[in-house]
């Protein structure tokens, strides 16, 4: 049971970091788009 909770916690952490990285990626795309506009 303990191990199951640990895995669940790891999955949550991975999902959170994945969302964070995706957001960072989106921001990068936005910045590049703005730069190419000018």
Question: What pLDDT, in 10s, does the model give residues 1-35?
Answer: 677 889 899 999 999 899 989 999 999 999 999 99
Q: Has this prediction a pTM greater than 0.75? A: no
Burial class (CB in 10 A: 0-12, 13-18, 19+), 29: exposed
Residue 24: the pLDDT is: 93
Q: From residue 20, give the alpha-carbon distance in Å to each of 12, 14, 30.
A: 12, 10, 15
pLDDT of residue 1: 60
């Amino acid at each position: 049971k303990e191990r199951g909770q640990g895995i669940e916690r790891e999955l949550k952490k991975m999902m959170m970091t994945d969302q964070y990285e995706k957001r960072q990626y989106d921001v990068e795309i936005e910045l590049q788009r703005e730069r190419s506009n000018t």
